[in-house]
């Protein structure tokens, strides 16, 4: 079996496959053109989020039997086309959940205590102590939109830190402990912090918009470590400008290629000259531990496939 790895992966991905007898080509910088030319030689393919597995790629992949996406979303793979061609599509849905949950938790504390803003100010040689009074997260209400792998882990961590946790979800998840399932409207109206953990599907696209923002408590903090496009960024800009939203933390953006980070949002300052939006370039899953788990799961899937089809 010959497998092409198209994106950067942890060593945990490659070594176990080779040890199991799978031939692995690691080409993390392969271009779209090279992929189209070379893919016919492979039985398996590993991608992260960079490589697009379009219908054209799948049509050119005359020997391909399995595509594994290291990570959660399958947005970069034409899954319907793969299925129609009998190509198995797999992912590693839980491997990076804790990394994302910890990032969202970090953002709640960073927003409440203005840690990034204080750092920027210190680096500028300032001592703005009297403008940097923050608030505690203990005793506050965290509203989670989506209580799956990531939302559920964040809920448990927040409960352990003394927060009240409410959430909305289209299913009733098992074992929610002290976290209470409510309607979306209740999450919007009751929460001091709102964190998004839903997939991007038609029902969730722009679900944080002018109308839903208007229902939130004044001074709410909003965190999006899920997907760009869940939040209407223009409506968020307006809500930050009006003071409805006190601060936002973003790891994902509507247009991550041509408008990375949404410069307009990151330019917004409060009355004390501090940034109202803090964020990162889609690093939710980027931890040593998370990447190691992703790599291990990718290898396990392909080794199992190899043994099943030998």
Ligand X SMILES: NC(=O)c1ccc[n+]([C@@H]2O[C@H](COP(=O)([O-])OP(=O)(O)OC[C@H]3O[C@@H](n4cnc5c(N)ncnc54)[C@H](O)[C@@H]3O)[C@@H](O)[C@H]2O)c1
Rounded-to-integer distance, Cα 102 and Cα 112, Å: 15
Catalytic residue among 48, 69, 197, 227: 227
Near ligand X by CB under 6 A, which window of 9-17, 126-134, 136-144, 145-153? 145-153
Chain centroid to CA 42: 29
Contact status: 203 vs ligand X (CB under 6 A): yes
In the complex, the smallest distance separating the C-beta of residue 150 from ligand X, rounded to whole angstroms, is: 3
E strands in 136-187: 141-145, 164-168, 180-181
Selected catalytic residue, list 12, 186, 256, 300? 256
Spot the catalytic one: 233, 282, 293, 297.
Answer: 282
48 in active site: no
From 3, 73, 95, select the one nearest 41 (Cα to Cα).
Answer: 3
Count of residues near ligand X by CB under 6 A: 31
Identify the sign of the CA torsion 202, 249, 99, 252. Answer: positive
Beta strands per DSSP E along the chain: 2-5, 23-26, 44-47, 66-69, 88-91, 141-145, 164-168, 180-181, 193-196, 220-224, 245-250, 277-279
256 is catalytic: yes
Map the footprint of ligand X across residues 75-114, applying CB under 6 A: 93, 96-97, 100
Which burial class, exposed, middle or buried, applies to 280 when counting CB atoms under 10 A from its CB (0-12, 13-18, 19+)? Answer: middle
| Interface pick for ligand X out of 48, 69, 197, 244 (rule CB under 6 A) | 197
Site string for ligand X, 146-175 (x = CB under 6 A): xxxxxx----------------xxxx----
Both tokens of residue 191?
């929460």
Longest alpha-carbon distance in the chain: 68
What is the nearest approach in angstroms of ligand X to the Cβ of residue 75? 8
Name the one range near ligand X by CB under 6 A: 8-16, 79-87, 139-147, 175-183: 139-147
Site residues for ligand X, 209-228, by CB under 6 A, read: 225-227
Judged by beta carbon, residue 1 or residue 187, the one nearer ligand X is 187
Which span sits near ligand X by CB under 6 A: 123-131, 185-193, 281-289, 295-303?
Answer: 281-289
Within 8 A by CB and 6+ apart from 140, the residues are 163, 164, 192, 193
Question: Is 282 designated active site?
Answer: yes
Q: Which residues are tagged catalytic?
A: 227, 256, 282
Residue ranges in contact with ligand X by CB under 6 A? 72-73, 93, 96-97, 100, 145-151, 168-171, 197-200, 203-204, 225-227, 251-252, 282, 284-285
């Amino acid at each position: 079996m010959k497998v092409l790895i198209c994106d950067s992966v942890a060593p945990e991905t490659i070594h176990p496959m080779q040890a199991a007898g799978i031939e692995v080509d690691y080409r993390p910088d392969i271009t779209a053109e090279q992929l189209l030319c070379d893919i016919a030689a492979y039985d398996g393919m590993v991608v992260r989020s960079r490589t697009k597995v379009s219908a054209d790629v799948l049509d050119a992949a005359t020997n391909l039997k399995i595509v594994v996406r290291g990570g959660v979303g399958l947005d970069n793979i034409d899954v319907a086309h793969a299925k129609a061609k009998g190509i198995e599509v797999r992912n590693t849905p839980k491997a990076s959940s804790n990394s994302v949950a910890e990032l969202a938790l970090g953002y709640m504390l960073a927003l409440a205590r203005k840690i990034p803003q204080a750092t920027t100010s210190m680096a500028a040689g300032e001592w703005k102590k009297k403008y940097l009074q923050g608030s505690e997260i203990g005793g506050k209400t965290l509203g989670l939109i989506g209580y799956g792998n990531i939302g559920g882990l964040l809920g448990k961590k927040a409960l352990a830190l003394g927060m009240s946790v409410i959430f909305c979800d289209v299913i009733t998840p098992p074992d929610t402990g002290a976290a209470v399932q409510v309607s979306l409207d209740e999450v919007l109206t009751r929460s001091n912090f709102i964190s998004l953990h839903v997939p991007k599907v038609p029902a969730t696209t722009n679900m944080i918009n002018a109308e839903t923002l208007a229902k939130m408590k004044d001074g709410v903090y909003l965190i999006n470590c899920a997907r760009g496009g869940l939040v209407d960024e223009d409506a968020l800009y307006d809500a930050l400008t009006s003071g409805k939203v006190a601060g936002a933390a973003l790891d994902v953006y509507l247009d991550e290629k041509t408008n990375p980070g949404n410069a307009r949002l990151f330019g917004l300052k409060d009355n004390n000259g501090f940034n109202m939006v803090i964020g990162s370039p889609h690093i939710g899953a980027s931890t040593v531990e998370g990447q190691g788990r992703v790599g291990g799961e990718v290898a396990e899937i392909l080794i199992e496939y190899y043994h099943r089809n030998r």
